[in-house]
Chain A
Amino acid sequence: ETGVTQSPTHLIKTRGQQVTLRCSSQSGHNTVSWYQQALGQGPQFIFQYYREEENGRGNFPPRFSGLQFPNYSSELNVNALELDDSALYLCASTPKGRLGKGEQFFGPGTRLTVL
C-alpha cells in the first residue's frame, strides 16, 4: 500500500513568484488536508478538500488556494510569495468514510524556500 506522496521534495522561489505543490493521497483515502509547518513549530491547518471542493479553511489569506482532482490527488497554489511563506508544506489524507473523525496520515512534505 502506497502512502501519501508529495512533489517536489524541495523548491526555491523568489519573493512575488507563484508556486504549485502536489499531493497524491494514500490508496483508499478520498480527503486531503494541507498544513504549513514553519521551522521549529507545529503544523498549521491551511485547508481541506473533499469531493473536489474546499471543506474548511484555516487562517490563511486567499493567495493560498487549492484543487482536488477526481482521483483524489490535490494541488496547493501560493501566489505572490512572501519570505514568511518559507516552510515545510504537508499534505495529509483521510480514509474513505472517516471524514470528520480526525484521522489523517501525512506525506513527507515539500520544503519551500522563498528568497
Chain B
Amino acid sequence: QQQVKQSPQSLIVQKGGISIINCAYENTAFDYFPWYQQFPGKGPALLIAIRPDVSEKKEGRFTISFNKSAKQFSLHIMDSQPGDSATYFCAATDNTDKLIFGTGTRLQVFP
C-alpha cells in the first residue's frame, strides 16, 4: 500500500516533442505529490508538485495532471529539450513527510 509505481522505465523523445511519465499510488492518505529531476551524480531537484485539491498544475513547460479517483498522476514535459535529459522520479507522502519514491524514468531527448 506504500508503493508508488512509475512508468515507463525509460523514454526517448525527439527535441520539441512531449514527454509523458505516469505514476500510480494506493495509499489514499497521500496528500502531496512531487516530481524530482536528477542528473547523474547529483541530488534530486524539486521540479513541480501538486496536492489533491486540484487536477492540474502548470509551471513553464512542466505540467502535472492528477486523477484522484484513479489514484494516478503524470508529468508532461512540453517542447522537450536535450537539457531535460535526466532521470525523473515521482513521489508521494502524507503528513509523516516520509517521501515514497517511484522507481524512476530515464529520459533522453535527442536533437
> Which residues of chain A have a CB within 8 Å of any CB of chain B?
4, 31, 33, 35, 40-45, 48, 55-56, 58, 88, 90, 92, 94, 99-109, 111
Known: A41-B104, A101-B32. A90 touches B43 (CB 8 A): yes
B104→A42 contact, CB < 8 A: yes
Q: State whether the Cβ of B95 lies closer than 8 Å to any Cβ in chain A.
A: yes
Known: A41-B103, A108-B43. A103 touches B49 (CB 8 A): yes
Nearest chain B CB to A56 CB, angstrom units:
5
Interface of B is mostly: loop
A102→B99 contact, CB < 8 A: yes
A100→B101 contact, CB < 8 A: no
Number of interface residues, chain B, beta carbon within 8 A: 25
- Complex Cα distance, B91 from A108, in Å, reads 18
Known: A99-B97, A100-B96. A42 touches B43 (CB 8 A): no
- Complex Cα distance, B91 from A103, in Å, reads 11
B42→A108 contact, CB < 8 A: yes
A109→B99 contact, CB < 8 A: no
A48→B97 contact, CB < 8 A: yes
Q: Which residues of B contact A92 (CB under 8 A)?
A: 99
B89→A42 contact, CB < 8 A: yes
B44→A106 contact, CB < 8 A: yes
Q: Which residues of B contact A4 (CB under 8 A)?
A: 43
In the complex, which of the residues A48, A103, A111 contacts B98, with contact meaning CB atoms closer than 8 Å? A48
Q: State whether the Cβ of B26 lies closer than 8 Å to any Cβ in chain A.
A: no
Instruction: Closest A residue to B36 by CB, please name it.
Output: A106
Q: State whether the Cβ of B31 lies closer than 8 Å to any Cβ in chain A.
A: yes
Within 8 A of A (CB), among B94-111: 94-104
Q: State whether the Cβ of B46 lies closer than 8 Å to any Cβ in chain A.
A: yes
Q: State whether the Cβ of B18 lies closer than 8 Å to any Cβ in chain A.
A: no
Nearest chain B CB to A42 CB, angstrom units:
3
